[in-house]
């Protein structure tokens, strides 16, 4: 299952993943949500017969009004919540929280304040207990190198900026070599410049590591900049409102991409759809 991409602590050592016929990196996992019903209290449905899937290496952004169930959907996909009925699979296997293919990045970094950066990143490997300590350390340093933070390995979270902390959270997910990365508004609390920089870094990393990503955001421009496809959720229990393929070049999407006419057309289309959802509520 593991691609072994984090075995050598040097950024130069990472080869680009092989690409499949569709031009997508091929070491990501496919996920499939089929006919899923879910209700927190067993009576008020949040999802009814929900269906959503992604191809290996695809970057899917999930947009929708507050409270429509985006985080709930991520928790279902990660196996933290069981569906009332239906099936959720990753590469054909029913999902469980222990699945090694999964990485999760939350809205806030949620680092352990008493551990230094290296030990925060190493934490998941230590818990899994499958690797010798030296190898855990090498992998954690390699993950920190991926996010440009090797020099901060010995620092503690309170010594880092918000953007750096979110990078550490990303490294903590990447160190597990996830083939599916679930991200819940990971950059929402950051200033616009840091956010734009991290958007570009994330695209660079995804181009290199090739994982499948499901990325929740409220920011239409962020969704269009990052994704291959945007999925719009409707007010619960309506499920998916619509999808929009993002036909912009990837992975070489740079800051100037946001100034393209096509970029504006796509963001306008999504804004109109969101207004329709909110207006109809």
CA distances to 3, 19, 56, 69, 115 from 209, rounded to whole Å, are: 9, 11, 12, 29, 27
Q: How far is the CB of 192 from ligand ATP (least distance, A)?
A: 19
- Smaller CB distance to Mg ion: residue 27 or 78? 78
The residue range among 65-73, 175-183, 221-229, 253-261 that interacts with ligand ATP, by the rule CB under 6 A, is 65-73
DSSP at 15 = P
Which does residue 112 touch among ligand ATP, Mg ion, none (CB within 5 to 8 A, set by kind)?
none
- Does residue 241 interact with ligand ATP by CB under 6 A? no
Other Cβ atoms closer than 10 A to 33: 21
For tokens 């900026």, name the residue: 161
Q: Is 7 in the site for Mg ion (CB under 5 A)?
A: no
Q: Which of 26, 71, 194, 197 binds ligand ATP (CB under 6 A)?
A: 71
Distance from C-alpha of 13 to C-alpha of 108, rounded to nearest angstrom: 30
Stretch of 59-67, 160-168, 207-215, 248-256 lying at the interface with ligand ATP (CB under 6 A)? 59-67
Q: What are phi and psi of 127, to 5 degrees?
A: -65, -40
Taking alpha carbons only, the member of 88, 36, 44, 49 closest to residue 67 is 44
Does residue 69 interact with ligand ATP by CB under 6 A?
yes
Contact between residue 227 and residue 266 where contact means Cβ atoms under 8 Å apart: no
Applying CB under 6 A, the span of 19-27, 64-72, 114-122, 154-162 interacting with ligand ATP comes to: 64-72
- Identify which of residues 37 and 200 has a Cβ nearer to ligand ATP in the complex: 37
To the nearest whole angstrom, how small is the minimum distance from the Cβ of residue 188 to ligand ATP? 9
CB 173 within 8 A of CB 202: no
Q: How far is the CB of 6 from ligand ATP (least distance, A)?
A: 30
Q: How many residues does the structure list for the chain?
A: 281
71 binds Mg ion (CB under 5 A): yes
Q: Which residues bind Mg ion (CB under 5 A)?
A: 70-71
């Amino acid at each position: 299952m593991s691609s072994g991409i984090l075995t050598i602590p040097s950024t130069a050592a990472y080869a680009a993943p092989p690409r499949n016929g569709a031009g997508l990196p091929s070491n990501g996992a496919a996920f499939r949500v089929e006919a899923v019903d879910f209700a927190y209290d067993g009576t008020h449905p949040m999802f009814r017969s929900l269906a959503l899937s992604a191809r290996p290496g695809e970057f899917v952004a999930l947009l929708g009004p507050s409270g429509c169930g985006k985080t709930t959907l991520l928790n279902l996909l990660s196996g933290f919540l069981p569906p009332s009925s239906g099936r959720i699979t990753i590469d054909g296997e029913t999902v469980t929280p222990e699945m090694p293919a999964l990485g999760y990045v939350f809205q806030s970094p949620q680092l352990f304040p008493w551990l230094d950066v290296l030990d925060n990143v190493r934490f998941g490997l230590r818990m899994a207990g499958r690797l010798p300590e030296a190898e855990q350390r090498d992998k954690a340093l390699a993950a920190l190198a991926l996010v440009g933070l090797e020099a901060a390995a010995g620092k503690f979270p309170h010594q880092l900026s918000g953007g750096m902390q979110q990078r550490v959270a990303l490294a903590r997910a990447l160190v597990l070599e996830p083939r599916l990365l679930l991200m819940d508004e990971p950059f929402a609390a950051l200033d616009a410049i840091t956010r734009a920089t991290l958007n570009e870094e994330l695209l660079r990393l995804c181009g290199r590591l090739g994982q499948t990503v499901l990325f929740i955001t409220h920011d239409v421009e962020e969704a269009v900049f990052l994704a291959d496809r945007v999925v719009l959720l409707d007010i619960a229990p309506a499920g998916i409102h619509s999808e929009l393929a993002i036909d912009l070049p990837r992975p070489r999407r740079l800051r100037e991409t946001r100034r393209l006419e096509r970029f504006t057309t796509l963001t306008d289309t999504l804004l109109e759809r969101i207004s329709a959802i909110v207006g109809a509520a």
